[in-house]
Amino acid sequence: MSEQHIFLVGPMGVGKTTVGKQLASLLHRPFVDIDAEIESRCGADIQWIFDMEGEKGFRERESKVLQDIIDSNPSSVIATGGGVVMSAKNRKVLQSSGQVIYLCASKEQLYERMRRDKSRPLLQVEDREQVINKLLEVRDPLYREVADVVFSSEGGSAARVAKVLLDELSKH
């Protein structure tokens, strides 16, 4: 496996952060979560950023942080935000800067994982299933466009998923 960055893309709730931390540990690489990095730099949570700047403002911050992380970190495992692929520029940056893994899960699994989540701005609505369906409809083709590997995160614990993913990556 080369020493390039490994990017985890996929919808919210699929396990990019949880699996990413495990994968980074197995590879002895740094782990970076773009959403956590944005919060750290801003001194505010993502919900507040959405409230103050809207989704457009958040996406601009996300693009800048993505590029900064790529430029300033050694080969890392990087968990992206679910909407990072909405920008054509970000898709190009991801594809040219490392290996992209699309972590996916069934709609039912995502509904279950996100049922009580209070931290995701896009899910603070009455009908979460409708929002998740719409996000997947729009974003799934974009995740697939950038992905070098499409991998299901439904295989058990994060540690187990990371181990099976590592085995899969060693084949590429």
Residue range 49-68, pLDDT digits in tens = 888 998 889 999 999 999 99
Rounded Cα distance between 130 and 110, Å, is 12
Q: What is the mean pLDDT of each run of 10 residues along the chain (172 residues)?
A: 86 90 96 94 88 89 94 91 93 96 86 62 62 86 95 87 90 76
How far is the C-alpha of 143 from the C-alpha of 37, rounded, in Å? 21
Q: What is the CATH number of domain 5-170?
A: 3.40.50.300
List CB contacts of 77: < 8 A, sequence separation 6 or more.
5, 6, 8, 20, 21, 23, 24, 27, 29, 30, 31, 32
Predicted TM-score (pTM) of this structure: 0.89
